[in-house]
Structure 1
Amino acid sequence: MPSAKLWGGLFGPSAGISDEDSVVLVIGPSGSGKSEFINIATRSTKMVVHHGLESGTLQVQSASCPSPLNKRRGVVFVDTPAFDNNWASIAEVERRIRHWLEKNGKRNNTISGILYLHRISDARMTIPPLASLSRLGDLCKGGDIGEKIYLLTTMWNEKNKKVGAQREVEIKQKYWAEMISQGSKVFRFERTHESAWRVVNALLHLEE
């Protein structure tokens, strides 16, 4: 079982992220399951999962664990405040992320990729992905921006699979078509360790 490590605080203490570590930004609207995804991926309970309608994560924090496919390679999952929160603008959230990277010693303040989470139970989107992701795209190192952003649907156990699949098609066509055309991939998170790492391995181009 991977051993998770938590870095908290408003911007996080100086955790000394290695240049070999892969930093993955986990973003999405309030209640999309960001903290839960990180807990399941790292097999820990260190991220507090909130169940209210308002944003639970008010600060940038992270947890890390070795990649299941390469124990010598660390993956750092960064939990971020929701972009639809009621206390800070997208620009402020972006500033906090950049400051967190600086404080934790990440060279060139770059990240390996972004996971954008969306509840499949939601019929509508509060903020289109591009409105949020366009400000963060230049944090990703190398490659086309679309290939560095993967789109992840969550809360599948709360909806009938058939209804969810129909909604997934609609979301891809109506909201995510531009991202997909730029190289983004769509995955389902089914609240399992395996489904979490399926998308992470693909995002980081790790071989099964």
Structure 2
Amino acid sequence: MGLFDFFLQKRRMSILPEDIVVFIIGPSGSGKSWFLSTLLQNPNVHALVKVSGEHKSSEVHVVRCRFEGIPNDILLVDTPSFYVDDGSDAEATLKRWMDSNDMKKSWAVGILYMHNIALNPYDDNLRLLKHIGAFRRTCRRDLSHNTVYVVPSVASEVRLSSERIEASMSRLQRETVDGGTLMCTTLFDGKSEIAWDIMQELFNNLEPCTRV
């Protein structure tokens, strides 16, 4: 990479006043990177920088995109998972990224919370409110007023009974209400058109950041 390309890529990863920043958060195995890679395959989404197929799950991964029909650039931020047993400190990693990027500069901030309904529903480390709380602790300012959109996911090859799906969705809906967040009623199963629709629903609920 030449010096010009280096500075161009650095600028593209910086937050600009017209940018929409979307954080993709959730427990390990919830489908964060899967959702991002699927979304980037949609013909209506255009990555503005070369996207590496390999990135460490313990690091913050950012992609600047253009979406058809939206004038703003979209920064998609794939975050490391909290409450993992691999020794990594996701909160510290994300906080360092937050501290070096001022969210107030962006036009709007949205949060996609991914939740794999096939995971153990009784695992306390998979609770929505626990992860939302960890995410907010990393922020220099309160993001509680920004839109949190909960996305249930399940791989197409995973076979769950209709009763299990209904129970998992109902449990997630209760957590969503308790957390004052919004929930997508469509399961993300790896289809790029569903990923696109989920993003459109998120955009429809975003509010511009308050300028100070």
Q: TM-score, normalised by structure 1?
A: 0.71
Q: Is the 8 A contact 1:24 1:112 kept in 2?
A: yes
| Distance in 1 (alpha carbons) for counterparts of 2:135 and 2:107 | 10
Q: Which residue of 2 aligns with 1:48?
A: 54
1:161/1:17 CA distance change after superposition, 3 Å:
farther
Structure 1 residue 60, shift from structure 2 partner: 0.8
Q: Is the 8 A contact 2:23 2:112 kept in 1?
A: yes
Structure 1 residue 37, shift from structure 2 partner: 0.8
Q: Which residue of 2 aligns with 1:197?
A: 196
| Distance in 2 (alpha carbons) for counterparts of 1:164 and 1:194 | 21
Q: Is the 8 A contact 2:19 2:73 kept in 1?
A: yes
Kindly report which structure 2 residues correspond to 1:1-208, keeping only aligned pairs within 5 A, or say none.
13-14=10-11, 15-43=13-41, 46-48=52-54, 57-70=57-70, 72-85=71-84, 86-89=86-89, 91-102=91-102, 107-108=104-105, 112-124=109-121, 125=123, 126-137=125-136, 145=145, 148-157=147-156, 158-160=158-160, 162=162, 163-173=164-174, 175-179=175-179, 182-187=180-185, 188-205=187-204
Tell me the matched-pair count: 182
Bigger radius of gyration:
2
Structure 1 residue 42, shift from structure 2 partner: 1.6
Structure 1 residue 32, shift from structure 2 partner: 1.4
Tell me the alpha carbon deviations over residues 152-195 of structure 1, each in whole angstroms, 9 at most, x when there is no partner: 1112411336132332123323x33302xx24223421211221
Q: Is the 8 A contact 2:112 2:149 kept in 1?
A: yes
Q: Is the 8 A contact 1:38 1:47 kept in 2?
A: no
Structure 1 residue 19, shift from structure 2 partner: 1.7
1:95/1:111 CA distance change after superposition, 3 Å:
farther
1:128/1:184 CA distance change after superposition, 3 Å:
same
1:36 is paired with a residue of what secondary structure?
Answer: helix
Structure 2 unmatched runs, 5+: 1-8, 42-46, 206-212
One-letter code of the match for 1:117? Answer: M
One-letter code of the match for 2:114? Answer: L
Structure 1 residue 107, shift from structure 2 partner: 4.5
| Distance in 2 (alpha carbons) for counterparts of 1:35 and 1:90 | 15
1:198 is paired with a residue of what secondary structure?
Answer: helix
| Distance in 2 (alpha carbons) for counterparts of 1:74 and 1:151 | 22
1:154/1:47 CA distance change after superposition, 3 Å:
farther
One-letter code of the match for 2:17? Answer: D
1:190/1:62 CA distance change after superposition, 3 Å:
same
| Distance in 1 (alpha carbons) for counterparts of 2:183 and 2:128 | 13
Q: Is the 8 A contact 1:24 1:113 kept in 2?
A: yes
Structure 1 residue 23, shift from structure 2 partner: 0.6
Deviates more, 1:93-102 or 1:195-204: 93-102
| Distance in 2 (alpha carbons) for counterparts of 1:153 and 1:84 | 19
Q: Is the 8 A contact 1:23 1:112 kept in 2?
A: yes
Q: TM-score, normalised by structure 2?
A: 0.70
2:182 is paired with a residue of what secondary structure?
Answer: coil
